[in-house]
């Protein structure tokens, strides 16, 4: 009889244990589902954050490019404005050079000195702004800096295709030609 009572007790305890195990399994499956949902939402949030970060970096790069281009455009505008002003002063330099050539044969020292002083001051100022004279006489003819207005026959082979004479001085402004030197080329 004791055996039967023990069996009954065991049988009575088994459903209780099963009943306890079932809620634990349900709780574990609910927790697992919740964890999976949280992990999925975390992954979505990380993807969204990565996309937003990439968009932000692209926007910053575009803005930096815009800022650099704007600064370059501003510098180009300023340099082109100064180039126009300097181009307007080139005829004055030509006149000063012609006056100094004419005054070389003159006995008027004050006129020579005054014209030379005006020319040197103007030239010194323009050099500070980036103006440079294109040195052409005796150099090889270069279409990047010279404009041939005439050809002159020469006997010496070394002088062929070289600048024989300069009729109008050429100038560069910050390395860019603003007026080509008008030259006579030996052929």
Listed by start position, the domains of the chain span 130-187
pLDDT at 3: 56
Query: Which overall architecture, per CATH, does domain 130-187 show?
Result: Roll (2.30)
Tens digit of pLDDT for each residue in 14-56? 555 455 555 566 667 888 889 999 999 999 999 999 999 999 9
Determine the average pLDDT of the residues in 167-171. Answer: 92
CA 1 to chain centre: 102
CA of 144: how far to CAs of 106, 112, 136, 153, 182, in Å? 37, 34, 12, 23, 12
Is 110 or 26 the better-scoring residue by pLDDT?
110
Tens digit of pLDDT for each residue in 123-157? 999 999 889 999 988 889 988 999 999 998 888 88
Q: What is the pTM of this model?
A: 0.59
pLDDT at 13: 52
Q: How far apart are the C-alpha atoms of 164 and 155, rounded to whole Å?
A: 12
pLDDT at 119: 92
In the block, which residue shows the tokens 């002063």? 89
């Amino acid at each position: 009889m004791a055996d039967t009572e023990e069996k009954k007790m065991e049988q009575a305890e088994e459903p209780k244990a099963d009943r306890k195990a079932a809620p634990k399994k349900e709780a574990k499956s609910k927790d697992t589902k919740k964890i999976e949902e949280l992990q999925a939402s975390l992954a979505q949030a990380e993807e969204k954050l990565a996309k937003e970060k990439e968009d932000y970096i692209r926007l910053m790069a575009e803005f930096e490019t815009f800022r650099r281009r704007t600064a370059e455009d501003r510098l180009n505008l300023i340099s082109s404005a100064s180039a126009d002003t300097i181009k307007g002063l080139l005829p004055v330099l030509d006149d000063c050079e012609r006056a100094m050539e004419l005054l070389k044969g003159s006995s008027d020292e004050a006129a020579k000195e005054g014209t030379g002083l005006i020319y040197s001051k103007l030239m010194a100022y323009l050099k500070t702004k980036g103006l440079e004279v294109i040195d052409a006489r005796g150099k090889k003819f270069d279409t990047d800096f010279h404009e041939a207005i005439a050809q002159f026959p020469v006997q010496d082979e070394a002088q062929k295709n070289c600048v024989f004479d300069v009729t109008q001085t050429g100038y560069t402004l910050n390395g860019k030609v603003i007026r080509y030197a008008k030259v006579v080329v030996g052929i």
